[in-house]
Chains A and B, each alone.
Chain A
Amino acid sequence: MAVSGLIFIGFVLTHMYGNLKAFGGHDSFNEYAHHLREFGEPILPHEGALWIIRLALIVSLVVHVACAVALWRRAAKARSVKYVVKKSKASSLSSRTMRWGGVTLLVFIVWHLLNFSIGKINVQGGATDDPYNLMVDSFDVWWLTAIYLVAMVALGMHLHHGTFSAAQTLGLTNNDKARRNAKAAGALLAVVIAGGFSLVPIFVLAGVITK
Chain B
Amino acid sequence: MKFTLNIWRQPDAVTAGKIHTYELDEVSEDMSFLEMLDVLNEDLNAKGEEPVAFDSDCREGICGSCGLMINGEAHGPEVTTTCQLHMRSFKDGDSITIEPWRADAFPVVKDLVVDRGAFDRIIQQGGYISVNTGAAPDAHATPVPKDKADRAFDVATCISCGACVAACPNGSASLFVGAKITHLGELPQGQAERDTRVVNMVAQHDHEGFGGCTNIGECTAACPKEIPLDVISRLNWDLHAALRHGK
Contacts and interface: CB of A to CB of B under 8 A. Distances in A.
Nearest to B71: A85
Interface of A: 70-71, 74-75, 77-92, 95-96, 98, 161, 164-165, 167-176, 178-179
Nearest to B79: A89
Nearest to B182: A174
Contact of A176 (B72, B210, B230): B230
A175 B171 contact: no
B161 interface: no
18 contacts: A71-B211, A71-B214, A75-B169, A75-B171, A75-B211, A77-B211, A78-B103, A81-B104, A84-B8, A88-B218, A89-B218, A89-B222, A168-B229, A168-B233, A171-B234, A171-B238, A173-B230, A178-B230
Interface residues of B, number: 43
A98 B214 contact: yes
Contact of A174 (B222, B230, B240): B230
B104 A169 contact: no
Nearest to B107: A81
B236 interface: yes
Given A74-B211, A79-B171, A179-B230, 12 more contacts: A71-B211, A71-B214, A74-B212, A85-B97, A89-B167, A91-B169, A95-B216, A168-B229, A171-B235, A171-B237, A173-B233, A174-B233
A179 B218 CA distance: 15
Nearest to A2: B236
A172 B99 contact: no
A175 B216 contact: no
Contacts of A178: 230, 233
Interface string B150-192: 0000000000000000010111100000000000000000000
Contacts of A85: 69, 71-72, 97, 99
B212 A79 contact: no
Contact of B220 (A81, A88, A90): A90
B209 interface: yes
Q: Which 9 A-B pairs have the closest CB atoms?
A: A171-B237, A78-B171, A90-B221, A78-B211, A87-B72, A85-B72, A75-B170, A165-B215, A171-B236
B27 interface: no
Contacts of A74: 170, 211-212
B41 to A, nearest CB: 21
B102 A79 contact: yes
B35 interface: no
Contacts of A173: 229-230, 233
Contacts of A96: 169, 216
A167 B240 CA distance: 13
